[in-house]
Chains A and B, each alone.
Chain A
């Protein structure tokens, strides 16, 4: 047995030293004085890859001075000079995205400014894991973590948008997959990533539903790192066991449980709306339950009218839930509400699966999960992506970042720490084993359930519609006026769909 692990270790060492600490590729010692183009032809099969070779070598030379510093593309390469030949896929990507008017990109080094709103906890750990991987491949680049806290990018958006307008964006920034990208006027401010998808083969390993989500105006604009599920019902096992309850499969069962628990003095359903979006998140999952996957999707394309019965029913259900909810929900964010479960004072909560990561961080293990009533077989998905702004100061560094984000290695490292599942579906069983039980079951569901886009998390609708939707729900919490709110939702849809 020890012999096997010894062998694995040896293999790893060989592999690593072949890979080198740094960009994937191999070294190449020039046999006779020649040009870069000839070298590219010789090693990569196409003279046009010369700039890629130049860049890779220059980057390498910043860390290791034994490599040649190439000053111009048509410089004579002396005999005995050491070059670094990148992998063909990398070279292809480089050539697809490099702007010949930017000779500065041929020299390596520089910064990578990453904008996000991941500032603490598992999110920050995940981001750091990605940074570490990036640093291994591109040690010549200085990573700047330009993160700004504020749930769902509350503050971040106000910072990034003026920068985009003024023409000074970071090299890459976080963006939800889906129609949220419309809010960034991508044709003007972002670079389409179609070629990168092709070269990296992402259209083969990302599920079709996700790929459909990622397309806007015919192009891909972001690279997804993770998937979160929004329609999850979390419950406290202690309370359920005590009162002999099983997870509800439909709303009738749900309300029966609520009645029973209310009589016992337990808060049947907890919610926190301090962030302003949590109640709308709940309502979104209820809409899925009353309209089904296709009906729900149709709401956002105009196929399902907002005046339909399914929407009325959803509002009625939401109204009824408000009778069973904790009275202080306006003061609590979703994790404040989660404290009820941990204290065994509240029974059920509907929230995205970042809740799972939070429970684990709090050391709470006595919980169970189920799909939101009547949404079994439907996966309400949201995804975080990174994009490439058109005027990024270091576009090639950003390109490397995107490749790390889309790689299996990057996605496993990120998601095991953040508590979400990779966007890629090509993980082996051994790789999946690195994730906790909830996440493993989530991956299975993702592979077989019907996937619908979350609206409150930027996938299903453009930002202005999301805001209007959120506002309508917020007013509903106070007025409980089903007809009025439905009218407001109809108007919001009209405003968004015609524009």
Chain B
């Protein structure tokens, strides 16, 4: 599936939780579900047909069952969808009583299910259980590794005390500098200062409200790190100054090119990641944002996640959306200081290599969520 495919109405796209359901896929009232509470039903929209449970920790001790989950569309009430009964395990009623038993007596609930459908459902269920257990194991492995990795970073800082960083500052003539290499002349500095203020304003007034609407469409993932929504003014100027060292670059080029002066993160569980990203890319397009670039970086060794650039067509303003799991976001934050040291260009080659190795080591603990291969770079690479 191409990343630009899941437009609204695209039948191949994962169903949005608020999208109308296909006939036959109607949800039963929560009260009719064995063991399901109203609250659980409301908390997990869209789950009935997706069968991707999000509470693996509770299920780790359970034996992998060998009977298939029945989708609601298959209407075999004697075997209710297992994940629904597990959603609230403490209240699970394994025996068919009450509304479920009543439902079993209804003629329309006794439609035959073919052997092929049963096998397919069985395989889907086993896959779901496998993904869920693997995700739980990966989370546990990361939680175990994290303290050791933090300690490794503390060791690095002891071995390589940070050199005094260049303090960015504006001089009396209006120019700006941060160290030996990064400079903006007074005109460039004025333009950069104004651009930063305009971006912060546009982020607050236009981008964030739209992304809040997108976030509200699915409670299974969240916007994260909003306190870092707008890059610091000096960081923006540093990035511009780095690019201005390239031949032929104007300050306008540099301002237009920086994609992450305004940036957001959506964070998903590993089990929901791939479908969630594809759906949310569609939602962002529906909000009127243009996708400029998307990089699936799960295959790289110093960073894990998917980063994308977007544009407001009316103003040309760019912003960045990152798609993470809790673990990949944690790894990014754990390696951020190492990355900043490399970017500062105040480290010698030996430390630089150690910093890169640290980034690789941290990200080596991050498992790629299932299905990320379906999320293609945009624009797709054309070789070279």
**Same complex origin of A and B:** no
